Amino acid sequence: AMVDGPKRPRDLKTLSPRAASILQHNYYGWFARAERGIYALTEAGLAAIGPLPAAL
């Protein structure tokens, strides 16, 4: 969901009700605060996702 760019926790709430808590606690270092209330994936986050499939 965040591969296509930074997101607000409320935009991710439909995927997980705990999205805000997950982004704010950032236990694995996968997220970075891009600006107030907006989070982006770090290089570590992108690496954790692994290679993305090619578009069909």
Model confidence over 12-56: pLDDT tens digits? 999 999 999 999 999 999 999 999 999 999 999 999 988 877 655
Place of tokens 């997220």: 31
Q: Is the pTM of this model over 0.95?
A: no
pLDDT of the residue at 56: 52
pLDDT of the residue at 5: 92
End-to-end CA distance of the chain: 18
pLDDT of the residue at 38: 96
pLDDT of the residue at 50: 84
Residue 4 clears pLDDT 70, i.e. is over it: yes
Please report how many Cα atoms fall inside a 13 Å half-sphere around the Cα of residue 35, on the Cβ side. 3
- Please tell me the distance from the alpha carbon of residue 35 to that of residue 30, in angstroms, as a whole number: 16
